[in-house]
Amino acid sequence: MQDIRPSRPRRHTGLIMASTALAALLALSGCASTPASSTDASPKAATAAAKTPAIAAKPDPALDDGALKNAAITSAKTQDYVAAAAYWGNLYERNQDNAENAVGYSKALRQIGSIEQAGMVMQRTQALHGDDAAVLAEYGKVLTETGHPDQAVPVLNRAASMLPKDWTILSTTGVALDQMGRYGDAQAKYQAALQLDPGNPSVLSNLGLSYALQGDLDKAEQVLRQAVADPRATARARQNLVVVLGLKGNFDEATRIAHADLPPDVANNNIAYLRDMLTQPALWKQMEQLDKQPSQPASSSTAASPMTSSTPDDVSSMPPSTSTSSLP
């Protein structure tokens, strides 16, 4: 099909800002036909779900701790994160000083979009168990998802030194570095994660998005295609590829992929939004002005967020301001 983009350099700051804005739109609308989980939930659904654990988190005398833990783990495996949060919430309510209960509860809360509540849980827990590797890893993930990458990186680095085989910590560190605009360092972390878990589609999706943020859309497309070719790939990875294909002007393929996971009206609206965005003269003029400004690292407090990963132990490589839950 005809490429309607104005002739632009491949590496373009304004274009990447546009990509993150569109990705934020897709992140909010992409839940319509995907399984219910924190990473696929709309803000409205996530907000409603986030209230569930607070209601259900009163100890159930009919179940002992072992039964609650087994139920929580089983619920997470079946992606019933609301139930998992309720079970872990019961355990946490019974013993808030237990590190395992706190970490499990925080993970489940993040999966239903209750990031602030997860942050409160982990802030208290890391003060009690500051030398616990699992606590450090979860705390670093919460810090990353809440947009505090400068605080997250040293915490995650310490966790990685204690758990050197955990690819999720390396991937999350990459996300935090991407938020800081340190794309080369982030990509090195993703590559290290892939050494531990070759071909992991969540890590590949993060790596592809990192290349997109850096301005290398060709490499981003190549890596994202590799991610979506894996049977384990989620709707998030496919929709991230949609963003990159659209930004390159390949609307036909972008539309086909978008329709694989989204209702027709949502998919068509997203593609139309992208097409309109890329053909607005005023937008391109604004991008020209942005390109004239000195290059600065991405700000974690102002950048928009694209799609998040849908695995319980991975984080999207994009800044978190509009993100639904996504930390490992």
pLDDT of 307 higher than 60: no
Domain encompassing residue 258: 13-292
What is the H or E stretch that residue 282 is in? helix 281-292
Query: Looking at the domain assignment, is residue 185 inside a domain?
Result: yes
Query: Looking at the domain assignment, is residue 307 inside a domain?
Result: no
| pLDDT for the residue numbered 262 | 85
- Which segments of 30-64 does DSSP mark as H helices, in order? 43-56
- Give 13-31 pLDDT, tens digit per residue: 555 555 554 444 444 333 3
| pLDDT for the residue numbered 36 | 34
Whether the Cβ atoms of residue 90 and residue 59 lie closer than 8 Å to each other: yes
Secondary structure E strands in the chain: none
- Tell me what percent of the residues of the chain surpass a pLDDT of 70: 67
Query: Looking at the domain assignment, is residue 305 inside a domain?
Result: no
- Give 194-223 pLDDT, tens digit per residue: 999 999 999 999 999 999 999 899 999 999
pLDDT of 69 higher than 70: yes
Query: Looking at the domain assignment, is residue 314 inside a domain?
Result: no
| pLDDT for the residue numbered 56 | 45
Q: In CATH, what number is assigned to the domain containing residue 209?
A: 1.25.40.10
Query: Looking at the domain assignment, is residue 303 inside a domain?
Result: no
Compute the mean pLDDT over every residue in the chain, rounded to the nearest whole number. 77
| pLDDT for the residue numbered 293 | 60
The domain total for the chain is 1
Which H, E and C letters describe 16-29, residue by residue?
A: HHHHHHHHHHHHHH
Whether the Cβ atoms of residue 100 and residue 135 lie closer than 8 Å to each other: no
The C-alpha atoms of residue 278 and residue 247 are separated, in whole angstroms, by 8
